[in-house]
């Protein structure tokens, strides 16, 4: 599905450039040297180039002050050749990441973390929506999975996955119209909640947390977890592990996403889709 989405995006970019217009331009701002961020940004750049986008990485030393970084963001906000930009987290401790997030023009906030986008998404208005939950919604839509009246259980309540997917699934829309239960570390009966679920979204970062006895027959299981665990059989010495015990849970499901694969590649596509919309001065959902 992610490959098909990328083909569709590439075709739209080609239609733009064939008319002599510039391709979408995504900028990633990286402060300091975080291994995880480097890998993410390299992957993002690869995806951008694959669909014909312009991709720029703006790197700053970790000694940059908050004011200097805010000035750089202001430049990006006012640069007509930049359609969207993302600030790689985590930022060094001396920089207030919330202040930085709020300094981004919400019309260029393709990560969907600005409070204006968060608020618009919550009240059902077109908005840049965070890539991971948006990717899950796209999967449900493209596989034509019924959601209306279904009981969805979300495990995890982070601002980037749990809260937004819960909000999206409860919207009066398709995919949506679910009755949503959100579980977290203070939920005493997660097993029981999951057993009643038609749709389980596991986003807690605990490898293999969702076991076969927690899943009812025919459920849809979406595994967001990506935890790196040691694996001496791999050349790298480790592998990515999801939050679901895939081998034992899969036989009970009508649909299940694997890790790696599944949600991760869709997440990458949504960042591209958001940037394409920004290039057209639109918000996703306005076309
Ligand atoms: P996070 O900020 O660490 O949040 C984890 C959430 O899970 C928190 O709400 C936490 O509860 C809850 N939780 C943790 N342990 C729990 C337990 N034993 N029982 C019940 N709830 C528990 O993580 P995140 O950023 O949302 O990411 C979650 C996972 O998804 C991670 O593995 C991450 O790598 C992965 N991820 C994947 C993608 C992708 O593109 N595939 C994108 C983003 C994240 P409290 O709030 O009570 O602490």
What 3-state class would DSSP assign to 26? strand
User: Which one of 2, 204, 225 would you pick to mutate in the ligand 1 pocket, going by the greatest count of ligand atoms within 8 A of its CB?
Assistant: 204
Tell me what pLDDT residue 112 has: 98
Residues 48-104: pLDDT tens digits? 999 999 999 999 999 999 999 999 999 999 999 999 999 999 999 999 999 999 999
150 part of the active site: no
- Domain segments of the chain as ranges: 7-108, 131-262
Please state, in angstroms and rounded to a whole number, the distance separating the CA atoms of residues 185 and 188: 8
Name the stretches of the chain with pLDDT < 70. none
CATH of domain 131-262: 3.40.50.720
Please state, in angstroms and rounded to a whole number, the distance separating the CA atoms of residues 21 and 260: 36
Same topology between domain 7-108 and domain 131-262: yes
Question: Residue 188, Cβ neighbours under 10 Å: how many?
Answer: 8
Pick the CATH number of 7-108 from 3.30.70.980, 3.40.50.10860, 1.10.150.670, 3.90.550.10: 3.40.50.10860
83 part of the active site: no
Determine which residue's CA is closest to atom 1 belonging to ligand 1.
Answer: 158
Q: What Å distances lie between residue 95 and 24, 64, 65, 66, 205, CA to CA? A: 29, 9, 7, 5, 26
Residues 127-142: pLDDT tens digits? 999 999 999 999 999 9
């Amino acid at each position: 599905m992610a490959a098909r989405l990328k083909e569709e995006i590439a075709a739209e970019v080609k239609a733009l450039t064939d008319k002599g217009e510039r391709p979408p331009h995504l900028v990633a701002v990286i402060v300091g040297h975080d291994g995880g961020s480097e890998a993410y940004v390299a992957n993002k750049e690869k995806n951008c180039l694959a669909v014909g986008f312009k991709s720029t990485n703006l790197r700053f030393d970790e000694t940059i002050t908050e004011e200097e970084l805010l000035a750089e963001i202001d430049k990006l906000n006012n640069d007509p050749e930049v359609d969207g930009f993302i600030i790689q987290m985590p930022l060094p401790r001396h920089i207030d990441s919330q202040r930085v997030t709020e300094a981004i023009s919400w019309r260029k906030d393709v990560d969907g973390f600005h409070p204006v986008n968060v608020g618009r998404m919550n009240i059902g208005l077109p908005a840049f929506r965070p890539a991971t939950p948006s990717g899950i919604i796209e999967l449900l839509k493209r596989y034509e999975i019924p959601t209306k009246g279904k009981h969805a259980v979300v495990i995890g309540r982070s601002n980037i996955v749990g809260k937004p997917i819960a909000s999206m699934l409860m919207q009066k829309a398709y995919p949506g119209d679910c009755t949503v239960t959100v579980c977290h570390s203070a939920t005493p009966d997660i097993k029981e909640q999951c057993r009643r679920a038609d749709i389980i979204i596991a986003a807690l970062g605990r490898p293999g947390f969702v076991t076969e006895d927690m899943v009812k027959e025919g459920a849809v299981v979406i595994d967001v977890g990506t935890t790196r665990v040691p694996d001496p059989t791999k050349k790298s010495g480790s592998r990515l592990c999801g939050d679901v015990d895939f081998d034992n849970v899969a036989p009970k499901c009508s649909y299940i996403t694997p890790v790696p694969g599944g949600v991760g590649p869709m997440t990458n596509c949504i960042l591209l889709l958001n940037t394409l919309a920004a290039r057209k001065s639109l918000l996703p959902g306005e076309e």
